[in-house]
Amino acid sequence: ILNVEQSPQSLHVQEGDSTNFTCSFPSSNFYALHWYRWETAKSPEALFVMTLNGDEKKKGRISATLNTKEGYSYLYIKGSQPEDSATYLCAFTPNTGGFKTIFGAGTRLFVKA
């Protein structure tokens, strides 16, 4: 069974704090790893798609790393702002001949001003 685990389930931080979340996925049959940000009442928005072991991607204050050999990815937010409050979803695409994208349950981030 292919499973994606995200931790923590939720996180409360103060404005200005830096934070990070973890996504664990099967280390075999890796094809791609996606991070999405989902604000309440909006559609999920793509942050990063990573395909190579050791990939590091950055968009503003948000960055992500990928370790396909051990099956984990970290998402970092530097200097959290209230507008960063959202659910951060991780999704894994296996290389098993299908087109399934498997999502984790997400990490819900609350940033208090």
CB of 45 to another protein, least distance (A): 8
Cα dihedral: 68, 80, 108, 94 (round 10): -20
71 vs 104 by CB, closer to another protein? 104
Among 81, 110, 98, 94, smallest CA distance to 31 is for: 94
Question: Measured between alpha carbons, how far is 52 from 40 in angstroms, rounded to an integer?
Answer: 31
**Binding piece for another protein, criterion CB under 8 A, among 35-43, 53-61, 65-73, 78-86:** 35-43
- From CA 84, how far away is CA 94, in angstroms rounded? 29
- Residue with Cβ nearer another protein (17 or 102): 102
Between 53 and 101, name the residue whose CB sits nearer to another protein.
101
Residues 47-76 contacting another protein, CB under 8 A: 49, 51
Binding status of residue 102 toward another protein by CB under 8 A:
yes
User: How far is Cα 45 from Cα 36, in angstroms, rounded to an integer?
Assistant: 5
By CB under 8 A, tell whether 39 contacts another protein: no
Instruction: Supply 10's token pair.
Output: 């939720």
Contact residues for another protein (CB under 8 A)?
Answer: 4, 31-32, 34, 36, 42-46, 49, 51, 89, 91, 93, 98-106
